[in-house]
Amino acid sequence: MNLIERISVGAKGEATTVVRPEVTVRHFHPLMPEAYGTPFMIYLMEVAASNAVQSGMPEGWVTVGVEVNIRHMAATPVGRTVVARATVIEVSDRWIRFEVEAHDGIHTIGKGTHTRAPVELERFNAALAKGM
């Protein structure tokens, strides 16, 4: 598959969530603050990146995350809405690189880069079932 023909630099995607107690660091460690957890922020950024390019993928294909370089810059309390945005900044024949950021309506809470690779879902699932 030729990604360069299917995905445009500048393509954008977005994903939104409301911070609930189960996505805070306190949920997993009672001595920690009740603030949005970094892994959940990164996941939201990955969803935004996937949303930016999924329409360009052939049927039966998706992208999977292969690299993240993210800085979590501000704490977000329960109840606040977080919006993650991703913009395609580079496309090769094997991967797509994004600039990503997350905002909680008051602060930019995270930013960085993320890379995804295309996979044929049926083949990927078969390999996964075999233990890769």
The single residue of 27, 34, 38, 87 carrying the catalytic annotation is 38
Residue linked to tokens 């292969």: 66
29 labelled catalytic: no
108 labelled catalytic: no
Cβ contacts of 131 within 8 Å, gap of 6 or more? none
| 71's tokens | 């800085």
72 labelled catalytic: yes
The single residue of 17, 72, 76, 101 carrying the catalytic annotation is 72
The single residue of 17, 24, 46, 114 carrying the catalytic annotation is 46
| 44's tokens | 């939201």
Q: Cα(64)–Cα(59) distance, rounded to whole angstroms?
A: 15
Q: What residues are labeled active site? A: 38, 46, 72
